[in-house]
Structure 1
């Protein structure tokens, strides 16, 4: 079993990472080159659809941690910018799926590249193996089923 002190440190570090101000600082670093329609509010919708594929607004909202009405509003803005389209859900005739357009997929890929460059700069001076240990640890944390 993990050391209790180390687990407490992990809980504190994750809490800091998840603070809105830290997410916002990360967004600010990559959104400078974002296309029209992509900002702090719409980025999680764009990024979520890029990772998850077409989703209903309700499911996407659950997955990215925003309310359903926010997901719909932000989807409207992305749709107006030509980055998202709505279509019928083949599994539920009453539902609508949100999906990225080719321009939306290109925007998401460009922002993912910007994030990669930003993070590469942040970890450039870390001791050997520290960044790999962080990546491996995060993967273990999210891939391990809860007890």
Structure 2
């Protein structure tokens, strides 16, 4: 009795998806360990990441992007402002709104965190992988980019 080749491919793809999810989770945790976040919560880090990637925003826009109520986002932003990580300026189109952006100190902190994570990855690649494995990893990164874009 032979197995259906399509069923075998589906089983292999499911196992690969499972393994990939686990490995990406482990890699994310290792990368997080490399950047000191101080006493920031993950929701605060997420807001800083949003402002870094998307640029200045209002509390309302941040709340919408993060899927929380504006009141909750206001509390998160207040902590970030008190820590000197974000600052606000009046919206030129609507003076009732405040446009929030990252402070220079926060940008420096983000830059240092990225450098620490990239340095860890560089050292891990150089000390763990052979030249051939490094080339294979480069090919895998191209495939992961395609997956992420799908």
Given that 1:60 and 1:71 are in contact with CA atoms closer than 8 Å, whether structure 2 keeps it comes out as yes
Comparing both structures, which one devotes a greater share of its residues to helix? 2
Gaps of 5+ in 1: none
Q: Over residues 70-120 of structure 1, what are the superposed CA-to-partner deviations in whole Å (9 max), with x where a residue is unaligned?
A: 544332222111110123344555543321011111111111111211222
Distance 1:6 1:88, change over 3 A: farther
Could you tell me which residue of structure 1 aligns to residue 33 of structure 2?
A: 28
The higher radius of gyration belongs to 2
Matched residues, number: 137
Q: How many Å separate the matches in 2 of 1:76 and 1:67?
A: 15
Give the aligned CA root-mean-square deviation in angstroms: 3.3
TM-score of the superposed pair, with normalisation by structure 1: 0.66
Residue 67 of structure 1: aligned partner:
68
Gaps of 5+ in 2: 1-8
Distance between the aligned counterparts of 1:111 and 1:18, measured in 2?
19
Equivalent in the alignment of 2:140? 134
Instruction: Give the TM-score normalised by the residue count of structure 2.
Output: 0.65
Counterpart mapping for 1:38-49 below 5 A:
38=40, 40-49=42-51
Distance 1:47 1:7 in 2: 32
Q: 1:18 to 1:101 in 2, by over 3 A?
A: same
Question: In 2, Cα distance between the equivalents of 1:129 and 1:6?
Answer: 24
Aligned partner (choices 79, 82, 88) of residue 80 of structure 1: 82
